Amino acid sequence: MTDNNSDNSANGHIDANELIASIITPPGEGGVGAIRVAGDGARMFCAPFLKWGANSAPLPESFSLKLTVFSIPESGVALDEVMAVWMPKGKSYTGDEQVEIYCHGGRVVLLNILRALYDAGARPAEPGEFTKRAFLAGRIDLTKAEAVAELISANSQRSYSAARDNLFGKTSSEVDRLRKLTMTLAATFEAQVDFPEEEIDPDEYDSLIGDIVDIRDSMQRLVDSYRSGVVIRDGFKIALCGRPNAGKSSLFNALLKKNRAIISSIAGTTRDYLSEWIELGGFAVEITDTAGLRETTNEIETAGQKFAGEIANASHLALWLVDCSAENWREELSGDTPPETKTLIAFNKIDLPEAKPESDTTLTFGGKQCETLAISCKTEQGIEALERRILVEIESLLSDQTDGAIITSERHKQKLSEAIVALDAVDSGLKNRLSPELIAFDMKAVLQALDEITGKVYTDDLLGVIFSSFCIGK
């Protein structure tokens, strides 16, 4: 465990400030591709390639973007026309001295430039190493570093907003606030440990217990926000279920607003399952079209049906489609078993004259109360209402929608839970008038857990876990 309160760049955890280089733009072809070189001496290391300082050309000022040519100094071979810029230590993304080279965005162009830099002694950056350096340099805390990965992978407006808020410090400032409050409490106890002859008066005990309740409530609110955080981060999962030919694949396509799944009047067409993402009300929603559930002797279809059951149970919501133009839909429904998850019954094919839906009510389905609605995948009647109904379900999963911080990290939730356990120990210690030393011990555990969230305290293993989930170049 390292306490990096003072200067975390100096603790020798990594081969600090060694020159590293990597492509920082995504793979594929583009107008521009970028390479970052970070570490002590980055500017002079890159100078010969960029003709900075060569042929008596002056070194550019920091942050001034120069149009130049990247060439191999020994052979003079020009690799590409590039723009390049350097940033001094303490003023770059990584906090290191840094050079960025913007060349043409082709795979071979980028690799050739990178190869030249490696040949000259830079080493490839590890996954997340640029951001890890920013953390180790004290430029960002751990919650912000984690937010970088979430921001990059955000696939909906909501997940973007949550990641952006954390990048700008929403979680870390809330954790800092709780830390300050805990520190104030802790100071009182430290005083007791130092001057045991001074008894805390009973009123003070009561007020301290009141403070603990406030801190605990705030921590619990953050822990509870994780429930929303997961939906926001990973999306809301919907499974389309029901008998073959009920219109599951048609609904899948209607929600996707494109023809993705094969629709056919031949029962048992969808045997595997298909998943696609849509954005609904700013949320990422994953919809899975499953194999229809019916009696079958076909091995593939049986396997598909087993998947269907598992997928439905693991979803937030199952939409159970019923072909309400079928004479016997009631018997069929009573013979089926609903998934374990929350289930809405959607009566499909209401465009047909023989349709007999029982919509906008509640039906008992396999002992389960399910709300119903009516749709036609053919005419799209009721599809918008269904989308609004899905949004209601998503919102109902979110804890209170105040503008407080929402944690999206399992790790943060874990640490906050640890802080609460320790705070409860402080609370019961106070109520039972335990010795201040014992209470101070639990108080330290609260602080420790909070500090592990922001990275005031960290281990190499923890950094390894966090940054290895980043990609190279981040």
Ligand X SMILES: Nc1nc2c(ncn2[C@@H]2O[C@H](COP(=O)(O)OP(=O)(O)O)[C@@H](O)[C@H]2O)c(=O)[nH]1
Q: Which residues bind ligand X (CB under 6 A)?
A: 244-250, 263-265, 269-270, 292, 348-349, 351-352, 376-378
> Nearer to ligand X by C-beta: 158 or 349?
349
* Burial class, 374, CB count within 10 angstroms (exposed 0-12 / middle 13-18 / buried 19+): buried
Q: Which stretch binds Mg ion (CB under 5 A): 157-165, 224-232, 246-254, 347-355?
A: 246-254
Q: How far is the CB of 298 from ligand X (least distance, A)?
A: 14
- Asked if residue 315 binds Mg ion (CB under 5 A), the reply is no
- Asked if residue 245 binds Mg ion (CB under 5 A), the reply is no
- Asked if residue 376 binds Mg ion (CB under 5 A), the reply is no
> Nearer to ligand X by C-beta: 252 or 467?
252
> Nearer to Mg ion by C-beta: 4 or 249?
249
> Nearer to ligand X by C-beta: 350 or 394?
350
Residue 247, contacted partner among Mg ion, ligand X, none, CB below 5-8 A by kind: ligand X
Alpha-carbon distances, residue 132 vs 41, 92, 128, 460 (angstroms): 19, 13, 6, 11
Q: How far is the CB of 310 from ligand X (least distance, A)?
A: 18
> Nearer to ligand X by C-beta: 48 or 268?
268
> Nearer to Mg ion by C-beta: 122 or 377?
377
Q: How far is the CB of 447 from ligand X (least distance, A)?
A: 56
Query: What DSSP string runs through 443-454?
Result: HHHHHHHHHHHH
Q: How far is the CB of 247 from ligand X (least distance, A)?
A: 3
Q: How far is the CB of 87 from Mg ion (least distance, A)?
A: 55
> Nearer to ligand X by C-beta: 255 or 449?
255
Residues 99, 120: contact at Cβ < 8 Å? no
Parallel, antiparallel or unpaired: strands 283-289 and 274-280: antiparallel
Q: How far is the CB of 299 from Mg ion (least distance, A)?
A: 18
Residues 251, 321: contact at Cβ < 8 Å? yes
Parallel, antiparallel or unpaired: strands 362-365 and 343-348: unpaired
Q: 244: which 2 tokens?
A: 């073959």
Q: How far is the CB of 162 from Mg ion (least distance, A)?
A: 34
Alpha-carbon distances, residue 379 vs 6, 138, 144, 339, 384 (angstroms): 66, 58, 47, 28, 12
Per the rule left: phi > 0, alpha: psi between -120 and 50, beta: everything else, 260 is: alpha
Rounded CA-CA distance 279/107 in Å is: 32
> Nearer to Mg ion by C-beta: 20 or 308?
308
> Nearer to Mg ion by C-beta: 200 or 383?
383
Residue 415, contacted partner among ligand X, Mg ion, none, CB below 5-8 A by kind: none
Nearest alpha-carbon partner for 235 in 408, 403, 386: 408
Residue number of the CB closest to Mg ion reads: 270
- Asked if residue 270 binds Mg ion (CB under 5 A), the reply is yes
Q: How far is the CB of 238 from ligand X (least distance, A)?
A: 15
Alpha-carbon distances, residue 344 vs 2, 306, 363, 393 (angstroms): 51, 20, 10, 10
Q: What single-letter amino acid sits at 101?
A: I
Nearest alpha-carbon partner for 143 in 168, 160, 161, 126: 168
- In which residue are the tokens 């060694």 written? 18
End-to-end CA distance of the chain: 25
Q: Which stretch binds Mg ion (CB under 5 A): 124-132, 268-276, 318-326, 346-354?
A: 268-276
* Burial class, 274, CB count within 10 angstroms (exposed 0-12 / middle 13-18 / buried 19+): middle
Query: What DSSP string runs through 269-314?
Result: ---S-EEEEEEETTEEEEEEE-PPP-----HHHHHHHHHHHHHHHH
Q: Which stretch binds Mg ion (CB under 5 A): 125-133, 266-274, 318-326, 364-372?
A: 266-274
Q: How far is the CB of 276 from ligand X (least distance, A)?
A: 14
- Asked if residue 348 binds Mg ion (CB under 5 A), the reply is no
**Number of residues engaging Mg ion in binding (CB under 5 A):** 3
For residue 105, the tally of other CB atoms under 10 A from its CB is: 18
> Nearer to ligand X by C-beta: 60 or 292?
292
Residue 156, contacted partner among Mg ion, ligand X, none, CB below 5-8 A by kind: none
- Asked if residue 249 binds Mg ion (CB under 5 A), the reply is yes
- Asked if residue 290 binds Mg ion (CB under 5 A), the reply is no
Contact positions vs Mg ion (CB under 5 A): 248-249, 270
